[in-house]
Structures are given as structure tokens and as C-alpha cells.
Amino acid sequence: MLIVRFVDQYGDVRIGLAEAMRADAPLRVYAEQLKVGSLLRLATDDLRELTERTASTGPVSAVGDVQLLPPVDGRTEIWAAGVTYQRSREARVEESTEQSVYEKVYDAQRPELFFKALPWRVVTDGEPIAVRADSPLNVPEPELAVVVNRQAEIVGYLVADDVSSRSIEGENPLYLPQAKIYAGSCAISAGIRPAWELPQTALTIRLTITRAGETVFDESITTAAFHRKLTDLVDYLFQCQPFPDGAVLSTGTGIVPAIDFTLTAGDTVRIDVDEVGSLTNPVVAGIEALDWLVDAAADPRRRPDVQLS
């Protein structure tokens, strides 16, 4: 099952359970007043009981009959971790003028954590991600994201793309917010996979980039190469601040293209994570291509029309 957020035929935003990300997959709906943030206020056992009760009800429609939205809302924040794989450490050292910063944080007890986005700035499957017009070197960062409730328990998983400007971050680590936080820089898959359904094994993450119909990048890694424990990242995130509607924490990438590779407008980025889902986004350039995010914050029907197969 996947927890999804969507606009129904009446224009109302609801949350529900999809059996799969297919147009013909059955869709069941949680109680009308609930939001994703409401679910993330619940302890794991209570969330599981509510979800399994909802899953036992009859389907009310099909996934293809609704408009899927990013599965975050309310006061839920999206954060990210950096330098959690050896390959990420190597890439940061390669690109940066301050190499020792990344060497030290890889081995340090305290992880690198940074704010990424508020819910209204997030895009989902089929919607565009963006590269900065003032950056000559931009890359996707395919990541497993954990969905965490207000009690700091991991209750679900998402596919995430922490789109980044390598040139801006490499120029000076203090430019990290500009390299990481801008319109079209944060994408997550459309469905949350409940944690209790996920097998406790290493997961394969795969990144594929196509350009003009040709594959220009294709690489994978498993979470067995992860340098930290997911629970440790969550513990640090929650140490000194509350998350009343929970949080999404993207856990870092182990796939980084060569230093001479950059995303360009017209590319398509696809990320697959075993047992969790997939995320496919076309690439656009510049802030104007994401202007619709402002209007969609008030009216989700202003989002791009994405068709599922």
C-alpha cells in the first residue's frame, strides 16, 4: 500500500491508500478531515491500525481518476542529510575549494543536516525539477527519504531527489543553502510506503538520465553502502526542535555523476528505489518555469496535469 495525497473530482484535497501507482489501481480514502500531517501526529501503532482499517474498506475510485499531489502538507518540513556515502564524500572533495570540510564531516559523529523545503515548494512524480540559471553545473541526487512522525519514529519511506548546484556549493560551503534550496530543487515520490511493509534488507537505488531519447547516465547503489544509521540521523534532527506534523528526511546520495556532467533543460531524471517506488521528472531551467508553484499553493488544481500509465 502507498499513502497518497490527491485532489478528488470535487476539487477537495484528500488522503488515501493506493494499491499501486497505476491508473487502474484501486484507491481507498481516509476519514475526510485527515491530512498527511494528521497521520504524522500519531504514534506508529496508531497509524498502522488506522491505515490497515482504511485498507479494509471498499475502494472509492481509481488512482487515474484523481490528481496526485506531493504527500506532504501542513507543518511538515523536508530536510536532507549530506556526505552519508563514500562516493558523496569523494565527489564533494573533488568539487570543493574547501575539501577538508567534507572529509571531516564524513567521519564525524554529528551528521550534516540541512533544511530543504516546505510542503508547498515540493514537486512530485511527473512534475518538473529545475536547474539554476546562474549555475553551470547541476545534478540530481537520488536518495531514500524517511518519513518521521512527531515522536521521531520512522513510519514510512519515499523516493527523493535533492537536486543540487555543484558549482555553487563547490565555490564555498557557506553557499550550501543557495545550492540546495530553490524552486524545483526538491522532488519526492507520490506515495509513502509504510515502514511496517518494507523488508529490513538493503535496498537498491538507481538513477537514470535520458537526453533526446538516449540514456546518458545509468548507475545504481545499495543502501548497504550507507555510512550512518537512519535512526541516528533522525535523532540528531529531533534533538533541539519539535516537528508537530512530523518531517521528511532525505538521507543522502551514493550516486554522483562525473564532475564534467550537468543536467540540462529537456533531460528526464528517473529514480527507482526497491520496494519504495519510483520518481520521474522532466528538467526545466530557471525560476519562471516553476511560477505555477505559487498559485498551486492555494489551488492544487493549478499543478501540471500528470498522466499515469
For the chain, the average pLDDT equals: 93
What pLDDT is stored for residue 99 in this prediction?
Answer: 55
Tell me: the pLDDT tens digits for 198-219?
A: 988 899 999 999 999 999 999 9
Contact present, 238 and 152 (Cβ < 8 Å): yes
The least confident of 42-46, 84-88, 288-292, 305-309 is 84-88
Share of the chain above pLDDT 70, in %: 95
Burial of 50 (0-12, 13-18, 19+ CB in 10 A): middle
For the chain, the first-to-last Cα distance in angstroms comes to: 18
Q: Is 249 helix (H, G, I), strand (E, B) or coil?
A: strand
- Which cell numbers in the block locate residue 222? 545499495
User: Which H or E element spans position 46?
Assistant: helix 44-55
What pLDDT is stored for residue 91 in this prediction?
Answer: 55
- Which cell numbers in the block locate residue 157? 519511506
pTM for the whole thing? 0.94
Q: Pairing state of beta strands 277-285 and 129-131?
A: parallel
Q: Is 291 helix (H, G, I), strand (E, B) or coil?
A: coil
Angle between helices 99-107 and 86-95 (to 10 degrees): 160
Does residue 22 carry a pLDDT above 90? yes
DSSP 8-state class, residue 255: -
User: Which H or E element spans position 208?
Assistant: strand 204-211
Contact present, 5 and 38 (Cβ < 8 Å): no
CA distance 6 to 299: 12
